[in-house]
Structure formats: structure tokens, C-alpha cells
Amino acid sequence: MSTRSTPTERQKRLGAELRKMRLAAGATTEYAAGLLGIDRTRLSNMESGIRPFSAERIRTLACNYACSDESYVAALVAMAEGKERRWWEQYRGTLSAGLLDIAELEWHAARVRTMQFMHVPGLLQTEEYARAVFAAVLPALSRLEVELRVAHRMGRQQVLERAEPLPYVAYVHEAALRMPYGGTEVTRQQLDHLAAQSERDAIDVRVVPTSVGGFPGAGHALLYADGAVPQLDTVQLDSAHGPEFTGAEAQLTKYRSHLDWMDDAALPSAASRDLIRTVAREI
């Protein structure tokens, strides 16, 4: 099997899950490598995502690790077998790997929930609004870099246009609705688009009004992607140096609590849509 110089987050997650399975079974790297007929270094590279796992090897390890969760094992096998070249690969080498990892995460998710406080969620942005968001970063991006990021963001929205659209829940703070990215007209068009998208069956937009006051996780935008099984859920966080990903159970539990709080505090879907349209008229 070939090596990878820069494995994707999905590839690294597969390796990490198999390492976690091995440790839970109390198995050593020597034992696992022996099962597969390889050396320890190769197994370590596989658990780091540098070398790929085959479906056969995953099932061999799961059997010998006494993992009885067939749904979990099947989900891991699906991760190993999903080698089709997807649309975001056209940006590899021109955009950061983290941006491509977000697109891959969304593409394979069973559901996505997001919390945004300063701008409209990326999957629901218009092209002009996205261009204004990318223009407001430091250090400033070149015009080419901005256009590449805008095109990539528009490409990510394919998950909402598939025959089976991605179930998508967006919690948006009222402050984000009032941030005039790109000026009044661009923002008004964005809010009209957001309200229209919120009427689609697979999309639920919930607004947290400013009257709620403080809340947990304020200022930390996040994307929570449900995996094929709960063990494979993933959180993506925004940071100044790029996206960060975690699948650690303690972190997943924390961010699920944040989303639960947002769900309780946010306006119902219809009332959220009314507020979006009200803000559009006011700006």
C-alpha cells in the first residue's frame, strides 16, 4: 500500500479509531502487526493515517480485538473504501488542507449542526457575502485566494443540493444577522437568501436573539458533524490559523451540551425566519 505525505483528517481519524480499538483491547503493536503480517513501523504508520487500511485488515483487527459493534466496524470499513475522487480535490495544492477537510467532513456526515455568532453559516452564504467575509481577514488575502475560497465555499453547498440533501441545522446569533458584510445591499440579499433557504425541508435555521444575553460557548463558532455511528462524530472549530478537528468523547460531550443549550435558547424556526426578514428590512 502506498504512503501519504499529508493524510486527510478523515484518513487520520480512521487510523486513530483503530488505534483506540487496539488499546481498548489491551493489544500491543507487535501483536496487531503480527496479525496483519507486517512490522510495527508499518502498523504505526497505518494508525497515523500515513498508510491506508484495507477493509479486510480492518475486519481482521476488529475480530481479534473482540469488537462486537458491527455497525461501528462497518462504518470504519466504509471510511477505508471511500476512495472516489471528489470535487474538492481540484483545490488540493491551491487551498489549505483544512478547508478541504471541512468539505470532506460535510460530504460524509449523516447530519451537520453549526453555531455561528459573527456571520451567516458558510453553507447558506451567497457568493457576494462570502467574498466580503474572506476580504475581512488578516493578513489580507490576494484577489486570487479570495476567489478560490469563494468558489470552494460555493462548492461545499452541493451537500444541500444532492438527491438526498444533508440534514442541516444552523444556530445563528442575531448579532450575525446585523453584521453588514459587503455593505447594506449585500447583507440584505444574504438575509433574504437565508430566510428562503430556511424553508427547505432539510434545513433548519434557528436564531438566538440578543435578548437571551450571555451563553456557553459564546464566540466559538463550531460545526458538529454526526458520523455514521456516534463514535465517529466530529467537531470542527474555527481558529485564526485554520480549522481544528476533534473526535475526543469529552470534547464531543461538551459541544453537544452547547448545541443543546442553543436549541433551548433559540427561537422556533418560523419565528427565526420572521426575525431574519425583520432585520433585512431594518438595515
What number of residues does the chain have?
A: 283
Residues 103 and 74 both lie in one domain: no
- Integer Cα distance of 189 and 180 in angstroms: 11
In a domain, 272, yes or no: yes
152 alpha-carbon distance from chain centroid: 14
Structural domain containing residue 199: 87-282
Q: What are phi and psi of 179, to 5 degrees?
A: -80, 115
SS3 207: strand
Last residue of some domain: 64, 81, 98? 81
Segment 238-245 mean pLDDT: 86
Mean pLDDT over 14-36 rounds to: 97
Judge if 103 and 243 occupy the same domain.
Answer: yes
Q: Is 210 inside any structural domain?
A: yes
* pLDDT higher than 90, residue 40: yes
Q: What is the mean pLDDT of residues 95-111?
A: 97
Q: Do residue 105 and residue 224 come from a single domain?
A: yes
Is residue 2 included in any domain, yes or no? no
Domain boundary among 81, 97, 126: 81
**Model confidence band, residue 2 (pLDDT cutoffs 50, 70, 90):** low
CATH number at residue 133: 3.30.870
Q: With bands split at pLDDT 50, 70 and 90, how would you rate the model's confidence at 239? A: confident
Which pairs from 3-8 meet CB under 8 Å and 24+ separation?
A: 3/45, 3/50, 3/51, 4/49, 4/50, 4/51, 4/52, 6/97, 7/48, 7/49, 7/50, 8/49, 8/97, 8/100, 8/101, 8/104
Same domain, 226 and 257: yes
What b/e string do you get for 153-172 counting C-beta neighbours within 10 Å, with b at 16 or more? beebbbbbeeeeebbbbbbb
Burial classification of residue 252, based on how many CB atoms lie within 10 Å of its CB (0-12 exposed, 13-18 middle, 19 or more buried): middle
Please state the domain count of the chain. 2
Neighbours of 145 (CB within 10 A): 14
**Span 268-278, average pLDDT:** 98
Pair 55, 163 in one domain: no
What phi, psi does 53 have (nearest 5°)? Answer: -100, 145
Name the percent of the chain lying above pLDDT 70: 97
Confirm if 174 and 118 have CB atoms less than 8 A apart: no
Residues 154 and 268 in one domain: yes
Give the residue-averaged pLDDT of 80-85.
84
Domain boundary among 81, 106, 139: 81
Does the structure show a pLDDT above 60 at 3?
A: no
**Residue 215 reports pLDDT greater than 90:** no
240: pLDDT confidence band, cut at 50, 70 and 90? confident
Q: 106, exposed or middle or buried, with CB in 10 Å at 0-12, 13-18, 19+?
A: buried
**Interval 125-150: pLDDT, tens:** 999 999 999 999 889 999 999 999 99
Q: What is the CATH number of the domain that holds 16?
A: 1.10.260.40
pLDDT of residue 105: 98
Q: Tell me which residue of 207, 210, 193, 201 sits closest to 274, measured CA to CA.
A: 207
182 and 50 in a common domain: no
- What mean pLDDT comes out for the span 26-51? 96
Judged against a pLDDT cut of 90, whether residue 183 lies above it is answered with: yes
